[in-house]
Amino acid sequence: MPNLAQLLTSKSSAEYQRVFNICRDISSELEDVDGVYVVGGVVRDLILDREPGDIDLSVVGDAAAFSLALASRLGARSPIESQFQTFKIDSEKMTIGMPSVDVVTARSETYTEPAALPDVTVGTIDDDLKRRDFSVNAMAVSLSATDWGNLVDPANGFGDIMRKRIKVLHDGSFVDDPTRIFRAVRYSIRLSFSLDARTKSLIEKSLANIDILSGTRVRNEFELMLTEPGLVELLRTSEEIGLLAAISPGLRIGSKALLVLEEMAENDSVPSDQTDLLALLTFGMNEDEAAQVVNRFQGPANWGESIVGNAELAKHVAVLDKSDILPSEVVEILKPVPTASIRAYVEAGPPLPRRDRLNQYLEKLQFVKPDTTGADLIDAGIPEGPVMGKLIEVIRRAKLDGQVKTKDEELELAKSRLPGFLTN
């Protein structure tokens, strides 16, 4: 069995080494702990000499006692049991730059139905590795003093890292958990690995199972995609293999949006705001497709506003090409549209006069407000009530169109229009 002690001591940063050393000490002290392993992504990333993410530990034995001792020595709050026998030690309050630590009880998992949550039973480290997604994520390195650094690699993940390939552990893997399809594509792009031939064919056969996943699970996976540095390539590949269409038939990334995103990626200016990114990605989808996509993701109320907003804007945007359109009319058309959709249109829409109007709205028109306040109207003798709001709106429109310039002119306008509102 190869020994990777070198990785634990010289390749990982001081914070990781500190966690590993504490794990070694605790595993010698606790009688009910038979083994402690660092597993999954950290092992993969250390072998690849990439900066690892949060630490996943697998404990053979009493993981609750182990995680409590670990949290205490790290100066962290008591661990929280997130799922059955899984304990999260949050990096908050620990040293800056410290990763969070997830501790699981080594277990085996069985799926009674496709895409259901698995049945869990306590098991060995080999069982724990067998339940994982891909060979490159199914390696463990021992942190116990007695076999410190020993690699446990039943699926030959090490070999697959050398061959640069993502390989699933068994044929039913994507049926058990279709979120692994998203994960496979994500890792292959992130690590510049290829999908091994059998894995690729299993993905193709399992795409329809994405339908069984809840909206929340699909949304989580989709949102993880959006945070990947190789987003453009990831989207392109996802479209090519039919993953986007498997989420929702109308979900596709238009070629223009991809070009825009590619340029943004080159300039390091991909929108960090998720709403902006969603608007750009879904630019060009029609109203029905947009509604279907939003419905599929079952997000919180405002989640898909910019996706639906794109289709809404597309219905009205041509009017903005009229040369005699007034600024107040531009505002009236664009006010109900999410600004993320307007920004997406500026980036990906045609270079017609409408683009200037959209920019004017974003930069200036949306912020125009009267100088006159409700208190000013009362001082001017205007009765309190709904009429005040209507007069403020009249003033705003007049200001937008350059018909009033000063506060005095605004008040004059309000007084002159008051009788009309009172008689209505």
41 makes contact with ligand ATP (CB under 6 A)? yes
What is the smallest separation between the CB atom of 30 and ligand ATP, expressed in angstroms? 23
Pick 179 or 275: Cβ nearer ligand ATP = 179
Helix axes 327-334, 353-363, angle to 10 degrees: 80
Contact 128, 108 (CB under 8 A): yes
What is the smallest separation between the CB atom of 119 and ligand ATP, expressed in angstroms? 14
Q: For residue 111, what are the CA distances in angstroms to 116, 122, 138, 401?
A: 7, 15, 18, 65
CA atoms within 13 A on the CB side of 240: 8
Pick 117 or 208: Cβ nearer ligand ATP = 117
Pick 180 or 357: Cβ nearer ligand ATP = 180
Amino acid found at 237: T
What is the smallest separation between the CB atom of 284 and ligand ATP, expressed in angstroms? 30
221 makes contact with ligand ATP (CB under 6 A)? no
Residue linked to tokens 């306008």: 413
From residue 160 to residue 199, what is the string marking binding to ligand ATP with x (rule CB under 6 A)?
A: -----------------x-xx-------------------
219 makes contact with ligand ATP (CB under 6 A)? no
Q: What is the DSSP string of 133-172?
A: SBGGG--EEE-SGGGTTBEE-TT-HHHHHHTTEE-BSSTT
Contact 414, 377 (CB under 8 A): yes
CA 153, CA 100: separation in Å to the nearest integer?
24
What is the smallest separation between the CB atom of 41 and ligand ATP, expressed in angstroms? 2
Pick 177 or 347: Cβ nearer ligand ATP = 177
Contact 223, 298 (CB under 8 A): no
CA 112, CA 288: separation in Å to the nearest integer?
36
Pick 165 or 397: Cβ nearer ligand ATP = 165
Can you read off the two tokens belonging to residue 387?
A: 């009429």
What is the smallest separation between the CB atom of 191 and ligand ATP, expressed in angstroms? 10
Residue linked to tokens 């003798």: 381
137 makes contact with ligand ATP (CB under 6 A)? yes
Segment near ligand ATP (CB under 6 A); pick from 129-137, 230-238, 285-293, 307-315 = 129-137
CA 66, CA 104: separation in Å to the nearest integer?
10
Vertex 332: Cα angle to 330 and 338 (nearest 5): 90
What is the smallest separation between the CB atom of 193 and ligand ATP, expressed in angstroms? 13
Residues 6+ apart with CB under 8 A from 402: 327
Q: Judged by CB under 6 A, how many residues of this single chain contact ligand ATP?
A: 10
Pick 59 or 258: Cβ nearer ligand ATP = 59
CA 137, CA 161: separation in Å to the nearest integer?
10
CA 413, CA 298: separation in Å to the nearest integer?
47
Residue 104's nearest CA partner among 46, 55, 69 is: 55
Pick 179 or 306: Cβ nearer ligand ATP = 179
From residue 53 to residue 92, what is the string marking binding to ligand ATP with x (rule CB under 6 A)?
A: x--x------------------------------------
Pick 218 or 348: Cβ nearer ligand ATP = 218
Residues 265-304, interacting with ligand ATP (CB under 6 A): none
What is the smallest separation between the CB atom of 228 and ligand ATP, expressed in angstroms? 9
153 makes contact with ligand ATP (CB under 6 A)? no
Residue 82, classed as helix, strand or coil, is strand
What is the smallest separation between the CB atom of 40 and ligand ATP, expressed in angstroms? 3
Segment near ligand ATP (CB under 6 A); pick from 64-72, 131-139, 145-153, 233-241 = 131-139
- Interface contacts to ligand ATP, rule CB under 6 A: 40-41, 53, 56, 132-133, 137, 177, 179-180
